[in-house]
Structure formats: C-alpha cells, structure tokens
Structure 1
C-alpha cells in the first residue's frame, strides 16, 4: 500500500512529536488539562517516566517557541486524526532536521512553518527544535530524515 505524504507516520518518534505538538497546541488554545495528561501518557508509554519528564518539557518549550516566533496562527489537526496538516509536516521536518544536524533544511522548514524570515525568530525556533531533538535522541528515539527537496514539494 502506498502512503500519502500527509498520512500520520507509523514511526514512534514522529508519532510522539505530532502527539506532543497537537496536544500542546490544543492545551494552550483551549486550556484543556486533558491534553496535558494525554501528552504525559503518550510519552511515558513510549519512553518511560524518566525520559518522558525531560522530553515533555522540551516539547512544551518547543511549541511555545513556535507560537511566540510565528507570524501567523499555526495549524494542527485533532489528536485522533490519522492525517497531517501542512504545518504538522513542517514541524516534523524541523525536528528531524535538527536531529540530523541539517540546519539548511531546518531553517527553511522553520521559515515555512512560522511565516517569518526574521533571523532572530528563526534562530530561536531552530534552537528549541535542537533541544527537542537532543531529548529524543537521548531517549533512543530517532526520526527519519526529510531531505530539502522533499520539503520543497510540500509547500
């Protein structure tokens, strides 16, 4: 079966990043405590409580940084969706690029995601993404790389 580029990936690291992104965005937009609980459950189930504690903190920092540095409202689908919106694709690309040490792809993804070309904002987003990528790596979660040419096909 061929998968659309907008299908939610089966890979655990990507699923965690999207779960964290979606639930954190919903928690901040709606003030719903259930979203915080869902983040914690998903991360502890996959990583265990010790690694989840650090990684969930980095997800929170990353999403808050994305929101603060974005020139527009960021999109996201409900947690139960099996599809990815364009912003979620860019968010995955951003963290995967940070994990791979690919600043060119990461900065382009950050610019597309936030709608900003301002160097200071992009640097903040890149740094937050690198912190999350490091936490994932330390927890044994490796993301699949997204090459720059593939990123350009999404936009």
Structure 2
C-alpha cells in the first residue's frame, strides 16, 4: 500500500508540471515541495501537496507551480471522499483547469457567475464546501510559500552550476 501511495505521489508530481520527467523532494520554509526537472536536469517547475477539510473528509491535492512559483501549472486530486456526483466533481478537468495559468500573487476566491475577482474560481453547483476546500488548501499552501519567498527570494531559484 505504501509503495502504491509513493508511486501515485510521484505520478501526481509529474502530472502537474508540464514537461517534467524527474522530481526530487525538498523542504522550503517547512513546506514539502518537489523540484521537477526535464531530461537535461533543467528546472521545469515545482509541485507541492496541499490539503484541507472537505464536506466528508480531508481532500489531498498536488499543485504544480512554474519555475519561479508565480503561476499554477497543474492541479490533481490525490485523495477525496466527497459525495459521489457532487463533491467528487472537484476531480473533473473542468473544475481543476480553472486554476491552471492563474497567478499565485493573489489568493483564489470562489465567485458566482457574473462576479469577478483577481483569482476567480467558480464553485461546483451543489458542492460549494468541496470547492471551497480545494481553494482553501491551495491558498494555505501558497501563503506559506509566498511568505518564504518574501524572506528568501532565492529559495526556489535554480541551483547555480
């Protein structure tokens, strides 16, 4: 079981950072992150696990970030026990893709149709608690990362040869 979980985690890391083929776990400011590289060893981006309490139980995610951490590159759900047909729709591509390409400078905000926000996310109808849990998980993790980068701007810089 542990081996399967490790493989799933490694797979998720590479899913959320495009063009990545290898990853190495690191800790930055107390946050677990994965440095993702391409075939030449060049930095492609970062992946970080995030979690929050959903409607049923904890929701565990993997969030991909660009090389300098300023943009979300991917999102996948590692574990969720949300209600089938409602909260479990957080796993659907349509919901997850709302985060991709968004800046990490501002917290994500749940919006209703017609509303706007700097980093808007449309909740799943009938599953606002699950939708908000995903937003909370990502925002919490990004807050810690932003704080660390403010104190140590080189924390996620590509190592110098």
Which of the five TM-score ranges fits, normalised by the shorter chain?
A: 0.3 to 0.5
Q: Relative to total residues, which structure has the larger strand share, 1 or 2?
A: 2
Q: Relative to total residues, which structure has the larger helix share, 1 or 2?
A: 1
Higher-Rg structure is 2
Structure showing greater relative contact order (alpha-carbon pairs closer than 8 Å, 6 or more residues apart): 1
